[in-house]
Amino acid sequence: MVKLMTPEVRPTTANSAGTFTVSVAPKEGSDAAHQVVASPVIEARDVTICYGGTLAVRSVSLRIPERQVTAIIGPSGCGKSTLLRAINRMNDFIPSMSITGSLLFNGTDVYGAKTDPVELRSRIGMVFQKPNPFPKSIFRNVAWGAKINGYRGHIEELVEKSLRQAALWGEVKDKLHDSAYALSGGQQQRLCIARAIALSPEVLLMDEPCSALDPIATAKIEDLIDQLKSRFTVVLVTHNMQQAARVSDRTAFMYMGELIEYDATDLIFTKPKQQRTQDYITGRFG
């Protein structure tokens, strides 16, 4: 697999029309990102999602490749998080939700009668907008999911491995039995990532994982995302276009529930095919 380098994001600048542009240097090996996704890990086929009589996502089709970072961007209320949560059936907890179309994970219908949502969520982990550690020790936060799912290996080794993968081990190795609430916000978010990857998922869904963090903590999470894609497929919802440009290989732009454009990130930000995409990334709306 071609390694895709993180795009260089240059400072946002205002043009004569008073709008803004995000300058993205092409990624090394970006030709690979421009190719059609032949064997996607996640595939949406004409997916429509409603909450009661409210249409949230309309006829979305896209294919998400393995071991890349796919960002979903768009203004508030455009359906980004609804689509993300549909991938591991988190929307099931909303009684009024209905979904049509097909949503496939490795070719299997996520909403099929034979799909166990609990097992599905162990294979498709999720990190939420705000850090949500359990009111337990750092060690028990990471070990919890594995234990209740019948993990039979050495739990201490699993906890250390997961914390290392989340770039947190060096900061907490001497206080594993302290409360997770004693950690900073950025550390708590990385702990939540460690908790998710302890279950060895194939996919990590991230819903605005940096929105509650300061710039230093955000930079650490972004560096971590770049490292995680060597082992996991990452799908990231973000309002931050610069963040999408920095960390993602492919970007989907949504507006009013519709998928407007989906392509390699450097093309979305430098040569968008749709006028609405151009208007959004240059700050004309959103």
- Residue-level pLDDT at 147: 85
**Where do the structural domains in the chain lie, given as residue ranges?**
9-281
CB 242, CB 215: distance < 8 Å:
no
Extract the tokens encoding 159: 């906890």
What b/e readout covers 13-48, taking b as 16+ CB neighbours within 10 angstroms?
eeeeeeeebbebebbeebebbeeebeebbbbbeebe
pLDDT in tens, 110-127: 999 999 999 999 999 999
pLDDT in tens, 83-114: 999 999 999 999 999 999 999 999 999 999 99
Between CA 113 and CA 38 the distance in angstroms is: 26
Percent of the chain with pLDDT over 70: 86
Q: Which residues contact 270 (CB under 8 A, 6 or more apart)?
A: 23, 24, 26
Q: Which residues contact 241 (CB under 8 A, 6 or more apart)?
A: 22, 73, 269, 281
pLDDT in tens, 44-56: 999 999 999 999 9
Please report which confidence band the pLDDT of residue 20 belongs to, taking 50, 70 and 90 as the band edges: very low
Strand partners, 252: 72, 262
DSSP assignment letter at 90? G
CATH of domain 9-281: 3.40.50.300
- Residue-level pLDDT at 19: 42
3-state SS, residue 286: coil
3-state SS, residue 57: strand
Q: At what angle do helices 155-165 and 138-148 cross, to 10 degrees?
A: 120
- Residue-level pLDDT at 30: 41
Helix (H) or strand (E) holding 103: strand 97-105
- DSSP secondary structure string, 213-274? S-HHHHHHHHHHHHHHTTTSEEEEE-S-HHHHHHH-SEEEEEETTEEEEEEEHHHHHHS-SS
CB 251, CB 73: distance < 8 Å:
yes
